[in-house]
Amino acid sequence: MARHDLPGSLTLAALAERCGATLDGDGSVRISHVAALGSAQAGAIAFLANPKYASQLGSTRASAVILSPADAPHTTLPKLVSADPYLTYARVAMLLHPAPVPATGVHPSAVLDPTAMLGAGVAIGAHTTVAAGATIADGVSIGPGCAIGPDVRIGARSRLDARVVVYGRCTIGEDALVYAGAVIGADGFGLAADGDRWLRVPQIGRVVIGDRVEIGANTTIDRGAIDDTVIEDDVKLDNQIQIAHNCFIGAGTAIAACVGIAGSTRIGRRCRIGGAANISGHLSIPDGTTLGGATTVLSSIDEPGAYSGAWPVQPYADWRRTAARLRRIDALADRVAALERELRRRDNEG
């Protein structure tokens, strides 16, 4: 289905030029791959972005390193110097480890409705189905076992890995990357109480996904109940995220794994949300907000900033004592209020 077009190796000087970093040392050193400081061998380039690993700089066997101007004097190895070593590492890694280039064509076992429209250079994997009226733009790659629903639109050069499901009428923009097992456009959890039973409410909206969006493995994005669920350009979603119906995720937002977002939540642009955060429905989070891992959000946030609601880890015995005290917090608050009233009474009498 795919072939790996690896460049072999590049000189450190070529990497510096293509990544916008400053070369310090022998630019003729050839680099074939990236590696961690502690495990790197000859031919590798490593990076130092976290001071926790600074002690490994002196013993690394890498042929070159990427680091900040402040750390550059601490090694005699050839180096790329950058104000943002991690960003430079990412650029270098993309050059040395490019994504597989999909082989074009439709696998014989794939099932395509005659009304589906395929652009040039499309790749369709084994046992994939493409329903009526779907439009697959130029250069799209769809892996094995995918199900593309009726009237779906997938933009140019987007890639869907194995077993991705895209329900009817949903759209995916250009240059998107959807990892295995993701489900886009399943019904939201729309139910109306009917006595002792539940009546399912038809979910008639879509999921609309912008350009350059990445969606992690087994992440689910529900279609809108009436209006659309919208994921704007450049959003990055990790694995196993649940986004409920009618949510809006602003451009450039990054969300880590296992986050749950309830329905009709509006998240602004350039937000960062840590893993396992829980966000209740019908609320808004402003542009530029950061939520720490495991944070629970139960009401709208008015001002951008960094927020966290996680309880830091404690030894079990300490946690039990703290939890027991918290269970008595209401009684303690009542006692404090009574003492305050008594003090005010005494002040008035005095």
Q: What is the pLDDT along the chain (350 residues), one digit of tens a residue?
A: 333 334 579 999 999 999 999 999 999 999 999 999 999 999 999 999 999 999 999 999 999 999 999 999 999 999 999 999 999 999 999 999 998 888 899 999 999 999 999 999 999 999 999 999 999 999 999 999 999 999 999 999 999 999 999 999 999 999 999 999 999 999 999 999 999 999 999 999 999 999 999 999 999 999 999 999 999 999 999 999 999 999 999 999 999 999 999 999 999 999 999 999 999 999 999 999 999 999 999 999 999 999 998 788 899 999 999 989 999 999 999 999 999 999 999 888 87
Gap between the Cα atoms of 294 and 273, Å rounded: 9
Query: Is 97 a known active-site residue?
Result: no
* Residue where one domain finishes, among candidates 67, 96, 125: 96
Domain span including residue 30: 2-96
Give the number of domains in the chain.
3
User: Closest by alpha carbon to 212, among 233, 232, 227?
Assistant: 233
CATH number of the domain enclosing 19: 3.40.1390.10
C-beta separation of 178 from 160 below 8 A: yes
Domain shared by 252 and 130, yes or no: yes
Domain shared by 125 and 261, yes or no: yes
Domain shared by 37 and 130, yes or no: no
Domain shared by 142 and 80, yes or no: no
| Amino acid present at 260 | G
Candidate list 33, 97, 127, 245, residue with the active-site label? 245
| Amino acid present at 136 | I
Q: Give the other-Cβ count within 10 Å of 322's Cβ.
A: 12
- Which three-class secondary structure state does DSSP give residue 8? coil
Gap between the Cα atoms of 22 and 80, Å rounded: 5
The pTM score is: 0.90
Q: Give the other-Cβ count within 10 Å of 294's Cβ.
A: 16
Q: What are phi and psi of 291, to 5 degrees?
A: -115, 125
What are 203's two structure tokens?
Answer: 């979910």
Domain shared by 175 and 283, yes or no: yes
C-beta separation of 229 from 215 below 8 A: no
Domain shared by 272 and 170, yes or no: yes
